Amino acid sequence: MTTLGARPAGAKDEADTAWAVRRMFDAIAPRYDLLNHVLSANVDRLWRRRTARRFGAVLARPDAAVLDICCGTGDMTMALLKRRPRGGRPVLAADFAREMLSRAARKFGGREAGEAGAVALEADALHLPLRAESLDLIVTAFGFRNLANYEAGLREFHRVLKPGGQLGILDFAEPGGLVGKAYAVYFRRVLPAIGRMVCGKDGPYSYLPVSVGSFPPPNEMLALMRGVGYEDCAWQPYTFGIAGLYTGARPLVV
């Protein structure tokens, strides 16, 4: 495996990483939604909708227990809620960056959240305050890549999923070919410059391309998922492989 987890500049270990990531996302929270949509030309909304559609059958069940982990400002949660039935069980939306989560909570109180609604939960993805075998679905969008330990995160998700429960990890990737070369220029040079101009901070949007470059490629990520114990593991590329959805399930019988 090329890397065990995220390592922002200056982080020496997992504790340093967690502190740096939390501090970074708290700092950019006020501009996070604007930058996401501008820098992706709103394609990120499409990716989230496709992810929610992939799990439509689970989301349609009123009693399904659903967690959006590393929920950030709640855009993935909102996409999931659009597929929840009236009166359905609320979606748990968890993140350990308080400033991000507070903005998510405001969205959940609005009309667009629908009847099912969501509950904001301040929690660390590597130490979830949830019972074993209690969830039907875990989804995370552009957050898993920032975990200090990828294997530990997958094991914690596996712990809280019910047998047969499903996992979806939406995150960036590095496409190949001419598209990949063009995107690399944008991702490594243009994107950090725009982020710095709008956000007024250099670190977060310089960290983004570094974190994507050090994230395991699809074949390694799928191998890691299988090694932890997931079955039916697959990767669906989105938009020429700029992003993609990893899926897997906890086996019904161990």
* CA atoms of 51 and 207, how far apart (whole Å): 25
Q: How many residues does the chain have?
A: 254
pLDDT given for residue 202 in this prediction: 60
Arithmetic mean of pLDDT over the chain: 89
Query: Which pTM value belongs to this model?
Result: 0.92
Number of C-beta neighbours around residue 112 at 10 A: 9
* CA atoms of 152 and 127, how far apart (whole Å): 9
64 and 89 Cβ atoms separated by less than 8 Å: yes
State whether residue 221 is helix, strand or coil: helix
CATH tag for 14-249 (out of 1.10.357.10, 3.40.50.150, 3.30.70.1530, 1.10.20.10): 3.40.50.150
pLDDT given for residue 113 in this prediction: 52
Among 234, 247, 254, residue whose Cα is nearest residue 137: 247
pLDDT given for residue 6 in this prediction: 87
pLDDT given for residue 1 in this prediction: 40
Q: Going edge to edge, which strands form the sheet with 135-141?
A: 118-122, 91-95, 66-69, 135-141, 161-172, 243-249, 231-238
104 and 80 Cβ atoms separated by less than 8 Å: no
72 and 25 Cβ atoms separated by less than 8 Å: yes
* Ranges under pLDDT 70 in the chain: 1-3, 38-39, 110-116, 195, 198-205, 254
By the 10 Å C-beta count (0-12 exposed, 13-18 middle, 19+ buried), 173 is classed as buried
- Both tokens of residue 40? 């992706």
pLDDT given for residue 220 in this prediction: 95
